[in-house]
Amino acid sequence: MELVSLAIYLVITGAIVGFVSGLLGVGGGFIMVPVLLWLLDMTDIDRSISTQVVFGTSLAVTTVTALSGARTHHRYHKIDPKVVACLATGSIAGAQLGGFLAHNTDWEVLRFGLGILLMIIGYLTLTRYEQYGGSGTGIQNKYLLIPAGFAAGTISALFGVGGSIISTPILIFLFGFPIHIAVGISSALIVFTATSGTLSYIILGQGIPNLPPYSIGYVNAFIWFFLVVTSVVMAQVGAKVTQRIDAQKLRRIFGVLLILVGLRMFQGYLPALF
């Protein structure tokens, strides 16, 4: 695939990711990562390299888009700095571990695990887990949030996703936060998780042979640029459109789509695991 064609596909992908992120109020990594994997599979980049490049670059894109979302939630006073600080303490360390694990794990296993994660996210999207939220006042010891943040950060960095779809259910199910507070806290947490994960992929990717052009470790500047250009703009558009359409119906459609994409990730990789 030529660079011009790849750039066009990346611009379109960035627009879709940004729009969906703004529309549904979730991170776009669960869309971005599978699409990027399929795009790079059409190039001559070895899959043992492209998988980590996709994960690292996705986190770098998420770092930028998460700043915009966190700023918006902060204006509406939906972010508790003390809760975010405890979660971030764990997630920053967890993201470093996740990047290390991705660096030392076979690409077949990573893609298989990503398929499982996408199916879980699809299921959560369909079940409307936010109904289980409580008042968020039952935390006697906020330090319990540190291991929760560590788990969310590890999984997020391991598969190159922002982490809101992981941390939000944790805050709701384990700590009883109401949905609007959990989403606000998660939006701020993503900034720390994605930044830490990005640095991990940059450091661990140094000196790796056969990386694609314009790579800084496992983060590819060419892919990052064309994704960010449109995703940031379209996130604002999605946020405005969500007021005019039935977002819940669209959310159910995406839930089914994620399950199907997760199943598709298994194709061709299962034999390599056994």
CB environment 153-169: b (16+ within 10 A), e (fewer)? bbbbbbbbbbbbbbbbb
* pLDDT higher than threshold 70 for residue 130: no
Mean model confidence pLDDT for the chain: 80
**How many structural domains compose the chain?**
1
**CA 223 and chain centroid, separation:** 16
Banded pLDDT at 274 (limits 50, 70, 90): very low
CB 30 within 8 A of CB 164: no
Q: What is the pLDDT of residues 202-244, one digit of tens each?
A: 999 998 998 998 999 999 999 999 998 888 788 777 766 755 6
Q: What is the pLDDT of residues 133-165, one digit of tens each?
A: 555 555 666 788 899 999 999 998 998 887 777
Q: Which domain holds residue 75?
A: 3-273
Dihedral angle sign, alpha carbons of residues 170, 171, 175, 180: negative
- How far apart are alpha carbons 187 and 166 in whole angstroms? 11
Token pair 């109401």 is found at: 178
- How far apart are alpha carbons 56 and 70 in whole angstroms? 21
pTM reported for the whole predicted model: 0.83
